[in-house]
């Protein structure tokens, strides 16, 4: 599962998540948006939290979670980042991963490896919460196809 957050000039944040199988084919896609978040790290952390719950709700129990926010990935791997708002979100993510899934791996990827989630996050700015199951939204079909060629 790949996750990303994207901000607009008016402090609105979009979050996108895509779940694919081991061959790279789309199993599920989701988008969310927020307003007035303090920074990108909080947006990315909240995106991880929503995506983790989404994967659980879709009955996935063995997952690899990838994102391009190094701060979030490092915090999730260390299982703690203090008592700040960011730390509380990370703690919630860590507990959810440990309790809800049989196995999980959290990994950092560069932006180029997260291009589909990035495109979803940009698109999410104009949407509310949306979910697509076993289909690819037309606006990211080209990005998904390009990404599959790279894999």
pLDDT digits (tens, 9 = 90+) for 17-54: 999 998 888 999 999 998 888 888 999 999 999 999 99
pLDDT band at 150 (very low <50, low <70, confident <90, very high): low
Domains of the chain: 2-138 (3.30.420.10)
Q: Please say if the pLDDT value at position 149 is more than 80.
A: no
Q: Please say if the pLDDT value at position 80 is more than 70.
A: no
- As a whole number of angstroms, the distance between CA 61 and CA 122 comes to 28
Mean pLDDT of 110-126: 90
> At CB < 8 A and 24+ separation, what contacts does 145-150 make?
146/115, 147/24, 147/115, 147/116, 148/24, 148/25, 150/112
Residue 81 confidence (pLDDT): 64
pLDDT band at 97 (very low <50, low <70, confident <90, very high): very high
Query: Please, what is the end-to-end C-alpha distance for the chain in angstroms?
Result: 14
SS3 state at 121: helix
How many CA atoms within 13 Å lie on the side-chain side of 92? Answer: 16
Mean pLDDT of 83-110: 94
Please give the model's pTM, rounded to 2 decimal places.
Answer: 0.89
């Amino acid at each position: 599962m790949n996750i990303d957050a994207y901000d607009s000039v008016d402090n609105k944040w979009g979050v996108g998540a895509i779940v694919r199988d081991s061959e790279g084919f789309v199993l599920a896609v989701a988008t969310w948006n927020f307003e007035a978040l303090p920074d990108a790290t909080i947006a990315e952390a909240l995106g991880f939290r929503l995506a983790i719950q989404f994967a659980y709700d879709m009955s996935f129990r063995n997952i690899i979670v990838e994102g391009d926010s190094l701060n979030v990935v490092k915090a999730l791997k260390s299982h703690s980042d203090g008592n700040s708002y960011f730390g509380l979100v990370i703690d919630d993510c860590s507990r959810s991963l440990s309790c809800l899934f049989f196995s999980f791996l959290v990994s950092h990827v560069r932006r180029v490896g997260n291009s589909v989630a990035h495109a979803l996050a940009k698109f999410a700015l104009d949407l509310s919460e949306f979910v697509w199951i076993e289909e690819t939204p037309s606006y990211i079909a080209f990005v998904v196809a390009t990404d599959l060629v790279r894999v």
